[in-house]
Structure formats: structure tokens, C-alpha cells
């Protein structure tokens, strides 16, 4: 899967987002909003990046957290890919 992502990123089908200190601060705020979920760094950063890109779509194989967390945008729920493609 990682090789496929890298190959597609090279052809500019999508962008690999930069994780800045602002994104990390937002991710930490997300973790504080949902302490019972014990979100890991990758999930919390994904929530923060989704807000920065104003989307509800996230690419992950760990769907648990994204079914319980509300996006920081106007969206009602996350669209978890690749699972929600069907």
C-alpha cells in the first residue's frame, strides 16, 4: 500500500500534507476533546489535516476512531477510505 501511495504521489494525483506545529497543536486539541478514545498521533493528525483541507475524507485502515470523532469542518461524519468507497 505504501509503495502504491508513493507512486501515485510522484504522478501528482494527490498531495502529501505537511505536518506543521499548528497541525500538531490542533491534533493535541482533538485528543483532549476525545480522551476516552485514546487516539494515536496518526489519527489525531489526520483529523487536524482534514480540517485544514476542509474535507471529511481520510485514508486509513484504522476506522475505529473516525467513526466516533466528528470532523472539525461542517461535515457530519468522516468518509473513511478505502472502506467507504463501496
4 against 14, higher pLDDT: 4
Over the stretch 70-81, which tens digit does the pLDDT of each residue have?
999 999 999 998
Look at residue 63 in the predicted model and tell me its pLDDT: 82
Look at residue 60 in the predicted model and tell me its pLDDT: 86
Over the stretch 15-69, which tens digit does the pLDDT of each residue have?
789 999 999 999 999 999 999 999 999 999 999 999 999 999 998 888 888 899 9
Look at residue 74 in the predicted model and tell me its pLDDT: 96
Grid cell, residue 3, equals: 509503495
Q: Is 50 helix (H, G, I), strand (E, B) or coil?
A: helix
Q: Which residues contact 26 (CB under 8 A, 6 or more apart)?
A: 47, 48, 51, 52, 72
Look at residue 25 in the predicted model and tell me its pLDDT: 98
Give the whole-angstrom CA distance, residue 49 versus residue 41: 12
Grid cell, residue 36, equals: 476516552
Look at residue 82 in the predicted model and tell me its pLDDT: 84
Amino acid at each position: 500500500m505504501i509503495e502504491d501511495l508513493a507512486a501515485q504521489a510522484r504522478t501528482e494525483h494527490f498531495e502529501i500534507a505537511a505536518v506543521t506545529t499548528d497541525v500538531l497543536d490542533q491534533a493535541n486539541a482533538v485528543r483532549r476533546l476525545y480522551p476516552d478514545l485514546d487516539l494515536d498521533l496518526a489519527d489525531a493528525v489526520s483529523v487536524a489535516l482534514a480540517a485544514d483541507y476542509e474535507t471529511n475524507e481520510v485514508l486509513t485502515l484504522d476506522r475505529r476512531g473516525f467513526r466516533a470523532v466528528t470532523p472539525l469542518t461542517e461535515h457530519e461524519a468522516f468518509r473513511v477510505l478505502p472502506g467507504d468507497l463501496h
